[in-house]
Amino acid sequence: MENPQYLNRETLLSEIPQIEVKSEDLGSTDTYNESKILETYQKLSNEAKELIYKAAIQLAIIGYGNKNYGFIRLNEKEIIKLEDLFKKYNIKFMEKQNQKYDDYSLSARRLLRLFRFQIQNFIIKNKRPSYLFLKYSDRNSFYVDICFPGGEHLVENKEQAIYLYNVYNNLDKNLNTKFCQRLQRVYIARGILPPEFFANL
């Protein structure tokens, strides 16, 4: 006899007729709206734009960690700490993990995403790999221009996606982090890799 507290498959399927639901019908909890973030950036002064541009390159190429975001040079003698830059222009950093921001807020991670093509061009033009490539990859030069934080948002094919995933997997193992989980969400949302790809990992 069926326990009325837990109904069986047949009962639930017959009592709730199937309705066709497509993947595109589902809403995303991602609050990243690129147009609105770009709008925030474009409202800044030219000086602020230049400094933030340099900051994004710094974050992607040199990296950051242990609450240290490094610095950029203004000229031969002057430097500016990224923490000071972020505070001055209200750029979020060192927030709680999975912190939600409004659509117009700039954050250190959002800068990496917003400037992804500029970062890629920097790597190509200057032949300067990112710390991610140098420390956590097998240094396959074919993938050097997509191997940086934020690169997951510009990969174009399965091979690039898997390469970067493996790099982040090395990082996760070394630092006991969970970046691969975020990459999975990005790849699925962008349609680069299907959910079933990650089922057996």
One-character DSSP codes across 144-155: GGG-STTGGGT-
Residues 177 and 109 in one domain: no
Structural domain contains residue 73: yes
Residues 189 and 163 in one domain: yes
Residues 83 and 37 in one domain: yes
Residues 38 and 108 in one domain: yes
> How do strand 91-92 and strand 79-81 relate by DSSP bridges?
unpaired
**Domain span holding position 180:** 129-201
User: What's this model's pTM, rounded to 2 decimal places?
Assistant: 0.83
The number of domains in the chain is 2
Of the candidates 91, 27, 97, the residue with the CA atom closest to the CA atom of residue 55: 91
Task: Identify the pLDDT of residue 20.
Answer: 78
Residues 106 and 135 in one domain: no
Decide if 58 contacts 72 (C-beta within 8 A): yes
Site of tokens 């972020």: 86
59, 88, 114 - which closes a domain? 114
81, 114, 147 - which closes a domain? 114
CA–CA separation, 184 and 129 (whole Å) = 23
Treating both helix axes as pointing N-terminal to C-terminal, what angle do 34-42 and 46-61 enclose, rounded to 10 degrees? 130
Decide if 88 contacts 103 (C-beta within 8 A): no
Task: Identify the pLDDT of residue 66.
Answer: 75
Structural domain contains residue 164: yes
Q: Angle at CA 167, nearest 5°, toward 82 and 181?
A: 80
What are the mean pLDDT values of the chain's consecutive 10-residue runs (201 residues total)? 66 78 58 87 96 96 88 90 96 77 91 96 97 97 97 96 97 94 93 89 68
CA–CA separation, 132 and 177 (whole Å) = 14
80, 114, 148 - which closes a domain? 114
Site of tokens 């609050």: 31
Structural domain contains residue 64: yes
pLDDT tens for 17-76 read 777 776 556 555 555 789 999 999 999 999 999 999 999 999 999 998 877 899 999 888
CA–CA separation, 146 and 160 (whole Å) = 7
Residues 38 and 105 in one domain: yes
Structure tokens at 166: 């493996």
Structural domain contains residue 177: yes
Structural domain contains residue 198: yes
